[in-house]
Amino acid sequence: MSDQKNPLEPPPAYDADSEHTPLVAGAPAPVRQQISRAPLPLELPALQAIRGKRVILASASPRRKQLLNQIGLRDIEVIPCTAPEDFSKTLAPFEYVLQTAEQKCSIIYRQEIDSEKGEPALVIAADTVVVSPMGDILEKPRSEREHISVLKALRNSGWHKVYTAVVCMAPLESAMDPGYALKRHVEETNVRFDPAVSDELILAYVKTREGADKAGGYGIQGMGAILVEKIDGSYDNVVGLPLNATMKLIGQVLNPEIQGEDEDEEEE
């Protein structure tokens, strides 16, 4: 019999029992079962420091909550900010999303600082906009007709940009004014729709209503992926929360003495 393994077989999973249970001569080999379970949480100092404490996501987006769950923040309180997002669209896109996210974060932090649940250990807020090649900020479509028009324009215009601003706030241990640390970041990703996407496909996608509640009218993590030919930059950013940048912000805001990207470096 050949010892050569089938190259199409997946590699063996870690087997804790086989690593830690001694085998006795003559005893039957342990039965290995494929168990579907979530990966263990990241054991990082910043995440360990807030484990069991109040961590608030100032956003109703289930996609942002899911992305934070992926890095081990699984007991997040979701407290959306209901303040109107009415900053002027004449602002540069990165400034528009930054001001919007910072407003969300500040309002929820101040709202919850004297809560009977206790002071939040961390508040995370984010805002995402899609920007046309002409520089127009495209948010959620307000009607089916507008939804179709926006997607056709994105298909016909080549590359467009997605900006997400992330803002994190945490209380300072000292009584120094203003009593909290704040870190912020704006991420930019370029996205190109497939120019061969048909009007029929766009209409069919709009009818699913998947993109009705999303900036730019599409969700790249869902059926909206059929519209996209390629991206240049962070995929998570297009979904609504750049995880790499968010992890850095969490570490910086919980340890403000650590040098890193500060708020003057978000305009990359």
What would the pLDDT profile of 240-251 be if each residue is shown by its tens digit? 999 999 999 999
Stretch 57-71: mean pLDDT, rounded?
A: 93
In a domain, 18, yes or no: no
In a domain, 63, yes or no: yes
Count, residues in the chain: 268
Q: Fill in the DSSP letter of residue 233.
A: S
Residue 266: is its pLDDT beyond 90?
Answer: no
**Domain around 120:** 42-265
In a domain, 124, yes or no: yes
Q: pLDDT tens across 159-215, in order?
A: 999 999 999 999 987 656 568 899 999 999 999 999 999 999 999 999 999 999 998
Q: What total of structural domains would you count in the chain? A: 1
Q: Is 106 strand, coil or helix?
A: helix
In a domain, 36, yes or no: no
In a domain, 200, yes or no: yes
Residue 10 has a pLDDT of: 54
Residue 263 has a pLDDT of: 44
In a domain, 215, yes or no: yes
List residues bridging with 59 in a β-sheet: none
In a domain, 155, yes or no: yes
- Is 140 buried (19+), middle (13-18) or exposed (0-12) by CB count in 10 A? middle
Helices (H), the chain: 16-20, 45-50, 62-70, 93-112, 144-156, 199-208, 235-239, 243-254
- Catalytic pick among 127, 177, 213, 232: 127
List residues bridging with 130 in a β-sheet: 138, 162
Residue 268 has a pLDDT of: 44
In a domain, 7, yes or no: no
Active site residue 177: no
> Is the entire prediction scored with pTM above 0.85?
no
Q: pLDDT tens across 76-125, in order?
A: 999 999 888 788 888 999 999 999 999 999 999 999 998 999 899 999 99
**Any idea what the CATH number is for the domain that residue 248 is in?**
3.90.950.10
Residue 5 has a pLDDT of: 52
